Structure 1
């Protein structure tokens, strides 16, 4: 059985993460397709005030800023990723605010965002469901009336049918990533080994993701007083057919504050 710390996410997203997940987080074409999806599904307008919640280095926000959106905030707990995003935005002279905060309690101004998105399965990190609900309640607090929320989640039904207990891929010429996965009724627990030919073992880490079916996420959103829920399942934005873990088959969920 894979044992996972409750606060695994506090120190997981560092320079090694950029290597292990490079085929997604460093894929510029994928980011552009994801930004296309955000614009279309959220019906974004250039004046919108946008929050990229749990946004890491803000790759989606940087792409949106390139397209002319000028009121964007990226929020993430990882100071490493936030600092990286600041440097990237500064290099391109893009106006984006970056804040390092806990998504359950952001201290941002209430009723102030037209749209919030949580991309790349960055929702569901907490073992206790009440903590995940707190993020949705915080999104409700931050959204203006009529504001839209988009969640990019793994499709629980797909994962239950197709989960691979073991996967291995070469992140680059030097680095191999091995993942061992366990399925529970409401989550996937994983052990990740990252091995370098030159430097040996770089990481022996463990993480956990809550997985949601349609009924489960609808109930959670309703508990956060979000309505007009719409769900689109089976989305794949990667061009090549491979095992991309949680991002292989995605469920795009939208809701609104009324």
Structure 2
């Protein structure tokens, strides 16, 4: 039986998340550049790069970028973008990367974390981030803020995108935020159903996993507008730190 993340990031993902724009990625990358404080030409790994929005913006900013994702459909979309030839694209599970490391920075963005049931599997991802980094290399992990998600959860929404109807149901269950998606396209066959699941981690739990992986946490931001993290009001929980 396939895990949810092996089936949910296909061609239909590009429909469901079409509204995620490249302009927003450029704004986020500008903020990240300030946090990372890296010289032009530095080597950056975008771990779980998806359709490549941030990889391409990092490349445009003058970095040598490698984008890794498990989804061939999303990588195909990334490779089709203007400027994609400047980025190295690789397909891989984030827990075991086919790379030697030597990166100046690793970024893991847009809640591309917490996909697995066992904490040890999440820690494997963090250990791979450490292995990818040079000593004194820096990392950014952009995760959701559990308290904000719980308080602002929209249980159900329905929207249309061209001939596509997108029905999304969300719930908090057994320590996870879960989403069920039903995609209906005009008269072209039965509805397609997908499931997404992210394990909710508090700041202290995340801090413990980062330490267990041998990484050093330096700061926690509440958004890309550089506000400090506030457990009740921040929309995100963005970790920045270093490999000692």
TM superposition score normalised by structure 2:
0.89
Query: SS of 1:56's equivalent?
Result: coil
Structure 1 partner of 2:119: 129
The answer (yes or no) to whether the contact 1:72–1:97 under 8 Å persists in 2 is yes
Q: Is the counterpart of residue 232 in structure 1 residue 228 in structure 2?
A: no
RMSD: 2.0
Structure 2 partner of 1:63: 57
CA distance in 1, matches of 2:187, 2:100: 48
CA distance in 2, matches of 1:208, 1:93: 29
- Distance verdict in 2 for CA 1:92–1:255, change over 3 Å: closer
Structure 2 partner of 1:199: 188
Q: CA deviation at 1:206?
A: 1.3
Structure 2 partner of 1:52: 46
Q: CA deviation at 1:161?
A: 1.6
Structure 2 partner of 1:253: 239
CA distance in 1, matches of 2:83, 2:243: 33
The answer (yes or no) to whether the contact 1:127–1:208 under 8 Å persists in 2 is no
Q: Is the counterpart of residue 86 in structure 1 residue 72 in structure 2?
A: no
The alignment covers a number of residue pairs equal to: 236
CA distance in 1, matches of 2:96, 2:53: 23
TM superposition score normalised by structure 1:
0.85
Query: SS of 1:23's equivalent?
Result: coil
Query: SS of 2:80's equivalent?
Result: helix
Map residues 89-128 of structure 1 onto 2, 5 A cutoff. Answer: 91-92=82-83, 94-110=85-101, 112-128=102-118
Structure 2 partner of 1:178: 167
Q: CA deviation at 1:164?
A: 2.0
- Distance verdict in 2 for CA 1:93–1:106, change over 3 Å: closer
- Distance verdict in 2 for CA 1:139–1:236, change over 3 Å: closer
- Distance verdict in 2 for CA 1:236–1:175, change over 3 Å: farther
Query: SS of 2:97's equivalent?
Result: coil
Map Cα deviations across residues 40-88 of structure 1 (whole Å, 9 max, x no partner).
222232121100001112211112222222x210011111222222232
Ranges in structure 2 where 5+ consecutive residues have no aligned partner: 226-233
Query: SS of 1:35's equivalent?
Result: helix
The answer (yes or no) to whether the contact 1:226–1:255 under 8 Å persists in 2 is yes
Structure 1 partner of 2:30: 36
